[in-house]
Amino acid sequence: MQRPALFFPSAIAATVLLAVPVAAQDMAVHDAWITEPAPMARALAAYMTLDNAGDAAVTVTGFDAPGFAGVDLHESREVDGVTTMAPVESLEVPAGGTVVLAPGGYHVMLMGPDEMPSLGDDVPLTLTLGDGTSLEVMADVRARPGRGGGGAMGHDAIDHGAMDHDHKDHGTVDHGAMDHGEGEHRTTE
Residue 182 confidence (pLDDT): 38
Confidence of residue 39 (pLDDT cuts 50, 70, 90): confident
Closest Cα partner for 138 from 154, 111, 120, 116?
120
Judge whether 183 lies within some domain.
Answer: no
Residue 6 confidence (pLDDT): 55
Question: What is the average pLDDT score of the chain?
Answer: 76
Judge whether 119 lies within some domain.
Answer: yes
Provide the 3-class DSSP secondary structure of residue 169: coil
Judge whether 163 lies within some domain.
Answer: no
Of residues 105 and 21, more confidently modeled: 105
Q: Which of 84-93, 95-104, 142-151, 168-177 has the lowest mean pLDDT?
A: 168-177
- List C-alpha distances in Å: 121 to 97, 105, 130, 173: 30, 24, 29, 29
Judge whether 44 lies within some domain.
Answer: yes
Please give the average per-residue pLDDT across 3-19, as a whole number.
Answer: 46
User: Domain containing 107: what range?
Assistant: 11-143
Number of domains in the chain: 1
Q: How far apart are CA 107 and CA 66, in angstroms?
A: 17
CA 185 to chain centre: 15
Q: How far apart are CA 180 and CA 97, in angstroms?
A: 25
Judge whether 171 lies within some domain.
Answer: no
- List C-alpha distances in Å: 96 to 27, 30, 58: 10, 15, 10
pTM beyond cutoff 0.85: no
Q: Is the dihedral of CA 134, 69, 178, 181 positive or negative?
A: negative
Residue 25: is its pLDDT beyond 80?
Answer: no
Judge whether 168 lies within some domain.
Answer: no
Confidence of residue 24 (pLDDT cuts 50, 70, 90): low
Judge whether 185 lies within some domain.
Answer: no
Judge whether 133 lies within some domain.
Answer: yes
Q: How far apart are CA 164 and CA 159, in angstroms?
A: 11
pLDDT in tens, 143-175: 987 664 333 344 443 434 444 444 444 444 444
Q: How far apart are CA 138 and CA 31, in angstroms?
A: 9
For the beta carbon of residue 65, count every other beta carbon within 10 angstroms.
21
Please give the average per-residue pLDDT across 132-141, as a whole number.
Answer: 95
Q: What is the CATH number of the domain that holds 139?
A: 2.60.40.1890
Please give the average per-residue pLDDT across 19-46, as a whole number.
Answer: 81
Residue 175 confidence (pLDDT): 40
